[in-house]
Structure 1
């Protein structure tokens, strides 16, 4: 429009025209070239994975502890995601405040203590954190859903202790333990017990009444899983558990060593309170609640005893039966 060329800003100054005037000089071609593959997350400085990797390397360099011995505050790291709970022979998880504190008191060789975020602290939580610090066990803090997933929904009360696979003893180890104690051997053998709570209860009762160990078979029987640890209330850290390939063969070897084998069965010929050999080297064999003693194990026993119960009660579970029998044996030994 006429006259607009004299208005300020109406004309473009030379050298300010947008875009290339003649050519780009190859700048556009170079701009299309990539910078190579995306580096892993651990190599990106601002990525959370890189910070976690740096923290892990720092802990490894300082001896594997993420918390000093005198500190009672858990670190801010979160436990790794886990799809499922403990499996058989793998790493075990001890869940629950009492069980965790008992295991730490017994100096179980734990690898990590997991603590729920915003946990309501009480004396047990404070003691668990202090013991973990004294034992140089790493303490990791994480959200409760993470701990729920780790323990498959088990009631953990905000504390989960990760321990290595259980190291089983041998029957000979149990006999040596009895010899060192100066008392006649008292062992408990479980035949076909598949419930970890019954195994834990039997271990707890055996420790309470002075037994020297528990024997379980490898097949058709539960091992020392996290559930058994929890049911034992930490007694499994003090009392050894032996695992044998064949329970019948193991009982015969004990018999050859001078140990009396007594089985518990509702159709036994003698009441457990009248067991005359209670003060001698003894193995109490407890069967499962439903099937009781297997045929081969029953035939191997030197004597089958019974626990007197009401006629309208079918049977007792293995944990309770072991407790009653052990009490009677301990009573006769103390008399």
Structure 2
């Protein structure tokens, strides 16, 4: 494996130095002027489906009411009732048609939770999660991901691979919704998501705190050679446009996924999964 300082391309117009001495990981708090407050809109959301609902009941999500389909399987009924009682929640039996109406016909599997809108984490929450695990930060930055199923799938992979948090923009991107929660199969309860107003400014702040920033592009280093040890953040671009040009300028190094077939693109969540586990491999060698 090549030395770390030879893998990182120095940014233009800056003196080349050893990365380990130039950018040291700094876990201390700094001000984040572009960061969203942790409390989001007060609109009601719904979590539905067995796995997503169980994780929500076990987690810290603020739940207003539990809807159980009349005649649902006894094992599911007992499980949900036991979890709800622990939290002192109201349980409402209702016909399938009522639950269908609540979630607009989606597959709820006989369980729907009425919750307050999801609260977002802060950037410092992400750092604190890494510190609590005694690990160097490994963050994902999602540049204008629009499909809630992609975000849910990315959350699921991020949780499986030990990613410490995800950063998304406030505008022109999918937010945390019931569809995202359902697709994540409960991972939304375990991976903190921070929402910011300006990704470029956030990336610069992460650099000040010692992180190396990697992006995805058609022209870059083979992702299988990526050394993700240390404090790193990986940017996943928009499903169609990739990483925005201005944000791309702030990336330390680009990674590419080789393709030999006729289709020269991958679904955003599939590409993210490959890259996340490539990072996992170098951070957790055999």
| TM-score when normalising by structure 2 | 0.82
Q: Looking at both structures, which has the greater relative contact order when contacts are Cα pairs under 8 Å and sequence separation is at least 6?
A: 2
Correspondence for 1:98 = 51
Mapped to 1, the partners of 2:95 and 2:55 lie a distance apart of 23
Correspondence for 2:4 = none
Correspondence for 2:226 = 275
Structure 2: gaps of 5 or more residues: 1-40
Correspondence 1:159 to 2:129:
no
Q: 1:291 aligns with which of 207, 221, 241?
A: 241
Structure 1: gaps of 5 or more residues: 1-87
Which range is displaced more, 193-202 or 172-181? Answer: 172-181
Is residue 289–residue 315 contact of structure 1 (8 Å, CA) maintained in 2? no
Distance change (3 Å), C-alpha of 1:174 and 1:190:
same
SS at match of 1:206: helix
Is residue 148–residue 174 contact of structure 2 (8 Å, CA) maintained in 1? yes
Mapped to 2, the partners of 1:272 and 1:126 lie a distance apart of 46
SS at match of 1:268: strand
Q: 2:64 aligns with which of 86, 108, 111?
A: 111
Correspondence for 2:140 = 188
Distance change (3 Å), C-alpha of 1:203 and 1:143:
same
Correspondence for 1:305 = 255
Query: RMSD value over aligned CA atoms?
Result: 1.5
Greater percentage in strand: 2
Q: 1:150 aligns with which of 81, 93, 102?
A: 102
The higher radius of gyration belongs to: 1
Is residue 101–residue 124 contact of structure 1 (8 Å, CA) maintained in 2? no
Correspondence for 1:207 = 159
Shift of residue 107, structure 1, vs aligned partner: 4.3
SS at match of 1:311: coil
Q: How many residues align?
A: 245
Shift of residue 89, structure 1, vs aligned partner: 5.9
Shift of residue 289, structure 1, vs aligned partner: 2.0
Mapped to 1, the partners of 2:64 and 2:268 lie a distance apart of 32
Mapped to 1, the partners of 2:115 and 2:128 lie a distance apart of 26
Correspondence for 1:170 = 122
Is residue 146–residue 239 contact of structure 2 (8 Å, CA) maintained in 1? no
Distance change (3 Å), C-alpha of 1:233 and 1:142:
same
Is residue 48–residue 182 contact of structure 2 (8 Å, CA) maintained in 1? yes
SS at match of 1:308: coil
Shift of residue 310, structure 1, vs aligned partner: 3.0
Distance change (3 Å), C-alpha of 1:199 and 1:89:
farther
Mapped to 1, the partners of 2:59 and 2:277 lie a distance apart of 24
Is residue 42–residue 116 contact of structure 2 (8 Å, CA) maintained in 1? no
| TM-score when normalising by structure 1 | 0.70
Correspondence for 1:133 = 85
Is residue 193–residue 222 contact of structure 1 (8 Å, CA) maintained in 2? yes
Correspondence 1:179 to 2:108:
no
Q: 1:316 aligns with which of 266, 271, 279?
A: 266
SS at match of 2:247: helix
Mapped to 2, the partners of 1:246 and 1:307 lie a distance apart of 27
Mapped to 2, the partners of 1:90 and 1:330 lie a distance apart of 36
Distance change (3 Å), C-alpha of 1:134 and 1:270:
same
